[in-house]
Chains A and B, each alone.
Chain A
């Protein structure tokens, strides 16, 4: 208990002192997980919409796959991406292994099923006639998608939160494909693992507090946006 308290005090001192490495790791975490989430939204929202509204062979199978993917262990995804990107792998020529891009790819794959699943559920909860109504009113395909997305915004913001939450909190995939390289691919979760293994508990706690604060700040912003028009 004393160690935890000492750790907390030291952590707060570290944060307060504006430790350069801590700031750099926090910023890198935000950029990597933020990029993965934005990409997951760009791919996952249209895919979720198509799954919710489309009728095509294999739709149920695709939905079941998405639901399975929502619970996929990140370390397994890390292993698969690592096998794809290592020099002898099918995409080895791209030389992405142990880069931030590789981490974005791995986190993207973790976040996509969550975004697709949440989007599909949000769109399915809307009246079936809504896209058809917009169509007969004269809205084009993009305008319809935009207006439907506005109607499903509560669910879509939940999708962003779930996607970002999964991306920022995973450690296995980032370790596997990023390598936790100092000044390059080290993010908050991988740094926490490293500092804990080194016995630097107060640094690990400081990193943990920053991670929690970051996740809370992002989710608070999204929740305010989500609840603003709830009425």
Chain B
């Protein structure tokens, strides 16, 4: 079910924390709401869920306004009512008026799918962080709503738990083709691994929105590019971005001087970290390790992208087109 935002503005006191003139989140795909801390990502998700009331604008899910009990929402912090894992999953379904037999069937299936089938009888207070996060997701998924909202589903997990969930989640989410998923993350790798579409949110405004490929390969302004790991440089009198991993040591088509600040050893290779102009940059090499100070690096012309105007030039919001 498509989610459509029109002229949505959320305020905290006198401050506008979210300003989205137009945004459509496509039906049946996974959309990552990506951005740095304080960008308004969770606010956007909460507005879609009906937890934060916008000061202006409308949010439609399908052709109807947001209403409680129509969307599933997994909070960043796994919060439960006291009792067992099974009782928590049952409660979610009971509040939706699902009959007992159907509840049992869905709880068993979803718990198995999320790898928490063996935890159904366990008190929620005895769950590890990773287990709690899986149960948190299971509770949202068991409802089988047409809209699933996940706020930082992998936050606070240790590396192995995060990695194992990251491997399983894409298949879990895509096994529900009629479910529209919007998930919040500040991690671009996480977005790339989980999402089909990306909404890049910075300072409460949508800077880019579209397919993962489009947003990641053609950021629309310097701030988006910087967040996506691009190196921002002055090139032929304009602001340009160099795609992550595109810099090479030595001379080439377009040359820059990298002011090396640190060398990170990596087996027989190394990575030089520093700045080009004021912008953070890194380049990998396998020859003799450079010293701190200037290092000539280069990029191919196709890896450079002109970024007109820099910060906040594209504030009119974006519609994710059909692919």
Contact = CB atoms under 8 A, between A and B. Distances in A.
Interface in B32-66: 49-51
A136 B81 contact: no
What is the size category of the interface that chain A forms with chain B? Answer: 10 to 19
B123 interface: yes
Contacts of A133: 73, 75, 79
Contacts of B72: 136
Interface stretch (A76-84, A95-103, A137-145): A137-145
B82 A130 contact: no
A136 B71 contact: yes
Contacts of B81: 130, 147, 150-151
A137 B91 contact: yes
Given A136-B49, A136-B68, A136-B73, A129 B79 contact: yes
Contacts of A127: 77, 79
B75 A143 contact: no
Contacts of A137: 69, 91-92, 95-96, 143
Given A132-B51, A231-B123, A138 B95 contact: yes
Contacts of A147: 81
Contacts of B79: 127, 129-130, 133
A172 B73 CA distance: 53
Nearest to A231: B123
Residue picked from A127, A133, A151, most chain B C-beta under 10 Å = A133
A22 to B, nearest CB: 43
Contact of A135 (B68, B91, B92): B68
Interface in A84-113: none
A112 to B, nearest CB: 28
A134 interface: yes
A138 B69 contact: yes
Interface string B149-165: 00000000000000000
A137 B88 CA distance: 11
B82 A134 contact: no
B79 to A, nearest CB: 4
Contacts of A229: 82
Given A129-B77, A133-B75, A231-B123, A138 B82 contact: no
Residue picked from B72, B79, B92, B96, most chain A C-beta under 10 Å = B79
Interface residues of B, number: 20
Contacts of B68: 135-136, 138
Interface string A63-84: 0000000000000000000000
Interface in B62-110: 68-69, 71-73, 75, 77, 79, 81-82, 91-92, 95-96
A26 to B, nearest CB: 37
A154 to B, nearest CB: 10
Contacts of B73: 133, 136
A156 to B, nearest CB: 14
Contacts of A138: 68-69, 95-96
B203 to A, nearest CB: 24
A134 B96 CA distance: 11
Contacts of A129: 75, 77, 79
Interface in A108-131: 127, 129-130
A68 to B, nearest CB: 29
Nearest to A136: B73
Interface string B11-24: 00000000000000
B48 to A, nearest CB: 11
Given A129-B77, A150-B81, A231-B123, A134 B95 contact: yes
A133 B79 CA distance: 8
Contacts of B77: 127, 129
A134 B77 CA distance: 14
Given A150-B81, A151-B82, A135 B51 contact: yes
A111 B75 CA distance: 37
B143 to A, nearest CB: 8
Contacts of A130: 79, 81
A146 B73 CA distance: 21
Nearest to A139: B95
Nearest to A132: B51
Nearest to A153: B82
Interface in A174-223: none
A127 to B, nearest CB: 4
A130 B78 CA distance: 10
Given A137-B96, A139-B95, 4 more contacts: A129-B77, A129-B79, A136-B72, A229-B82
Query: 7 smallest A-B Cβ distances: which pairs?
Result: A138-B69, A127-B79, A136-B73, A138-B95, A137-B95, A129-B79, A129-B75
Interface of B: 49-51, 68-69, 71-73, 75, 77, 79, 81-82, 91-92, 95-96, 123, 125, 143
